[in-house]
Amino acid sequence: MRTVWKALAVCFAVLVFGFVSPAMAGVYTYSDVMIGGRSAQMGGAYTGVAEDGSAAYFNPAGLGQITTPSMSISANGLDIQTYTLEKRLFEQDLTFRSNAFYPSAWSVVQSLGEYRLAFSAIVPSNLDVISTTNFRNVELLPGQFFDVGLIDSRIKDRVYLIGPSLAYRITPTLMVGATLYYWYGEALRETTLFFGGASGQSQVGQFSRTSTTTHGLLGQIGFLAKPSERYAVGLLLRAPVPLDQTIKTDNQEYSFDATSGIFTNSFSQSETSQSARRPPGATLGLALHPSLGRTFSFDLSYYGSAGYSVSSREIDIRPVWNAAFGFEEVIRPKFPIRFGLYTNRSAAPRLNDRPTVQDDRVDSYGATLGAGYIDELSTFDVGMRYALGKGKTKDATTGEHFDVKSQVLTFFVSGSVLF
């Protein structure tokens, strides 16, 4: 029975390290969610534009352009993500799907003389996965068969950024701003493994639950220069984020041998506290306005390196560059259409061939499309995005590499009101 438990532990490690770990609040990725309304439809290329409430997130200096108090809200009405590990376990694909509904941004902007004060709440990362995979005639070990098998998993992961922003117009063409966010994250992992059937080993099973809460402070400073009506240049500097985490784990294992009638059951709990780290970064943005009602925007982002331990595992975040492009055309005075392209390259290290635990490395590339309505006191926007990712995962016991594919389809809606 002990050898069966070893095989079951291997299956559990394959599942946990094959998907759950790299999904932790976007540890290795930075564009998991399209934030805002107009900004989301333009692929997130908004550092040099930053003309509405989402500037608190993309470039707080842009708040200095807002002359009328306003409130805005955007929501991802339906966010569908799939993550497929090809031929990952017993020559069968493991596919995880996330269907989520949540607001992605909310902000209020108020004028205070030459200053602009804003308060915003952002959801930059979100997962809500329920996945069940069934197996038939599983051979865990040579000569050790089970008639049926089941892997059932639940993964929830969400990050909230909440806090104030302040912007000041230094000159008519130069603005500066800062945002201080309180970072709060909550994650839940539940996995059930069950195998039952032949060879006298009637049942073996394992249940694991891990809940993690994360909190810290994120500070960022922005600059925006508008030398002419034709173009603007923006710069956003993000400070490194020290994060405190509390991890609670429940684990249960059981087995039943039909031949001997022996039943075993074990249960354990633990709670640990540790420190994590989000690396510093910077984004340079350029906005071009070649004619009235037409905008091109470009963002180039750099994210630095960071390293820390999570549950005795080393998290190694490597430097990475990402880019975004946006386009807007106002076809009539009140009806803009928008388009965007963006990259979401992974900051995970490249996989080696050694039998060690490494997180998946998946690079994704996406496109956005949307349209809106503008009047004197309000705006309304609808849009969608599609992203496709490819990469590799690794078997921690053999070092063998497997292909990974991911897809994201999101429909979002947003609106703002001036008051």
Residue 375: CATH number of its domain: 2.40.160.60
In this prediction, what percent of the chain has a pLDDT beyond 70? 89
Chain segment 212-264, per-residue pLDDT in tens: 999 999 999 999 999 998 999 999 999 998 999 999 999 888 887 777 778 88
Report how far residue 86's alpha carbon sits from residue 403's, in angstroms, rounded to the nearest whole number.
6
Nearest to 14 by CA among 407, 406, 310, 399: 399
Range of 92's domain?
Answer: 2-418
More confident residue, 261 or 55: 55
Give the predicted TM-score (pTM) of the model.
0.88
The mean pLDDT of 263-292, rounded to a whole number, is 92
Which pairing describes strands 174-196 and 144-171: parallel, antiparallel, or unpaired?
Answer: antiparallel
Q: Read off the pLDDT band of 311 (50, 70, 90).
A: low
pLDDT of residue 108: 93
Given this model, what pLDDT does residue 127 score? 80
User: Considering only CA atoms, which of 102, 96, 98 is closest in space to residue 81?
Assistant: 98
What residues does 412 pair with on adjacent strands?
76, 383
Tell me the Cα Rg of the chain: 24
Higher pLDDT, 284 or 414: 284
What is d(CA 386, CA 283) in angstroms, rounded to the nearest whole number?
A: 23
Res. 69: pLDDT tops 80: yes
Q: What is the pLDDT of residue 94?
A: 74
pLDDT-based confidence at 23, cuts 50/70/90? very low
152: tokens are 């059932």
Could you tell me which residues come within 8 angstroms of residue 28 by beta carbon, excluding any fewer than 6 positions away? 22, 317, 346, 347, 348, 359, 361
CA distance 232 to 176: 13
Above 60 in pLDDT, residue 273? yes
Mean pLDDT to the nearest integer, 207-213: 90
Least confident of 57-66, 162-171, 388-397: 388-397
pLDDT of 33 > 70? The answer is yes
pLDDT reported for residue 200: 52
- Domain count across the chain: 1
Q: How large is the average pLDDT for residues 274-295? A: 94
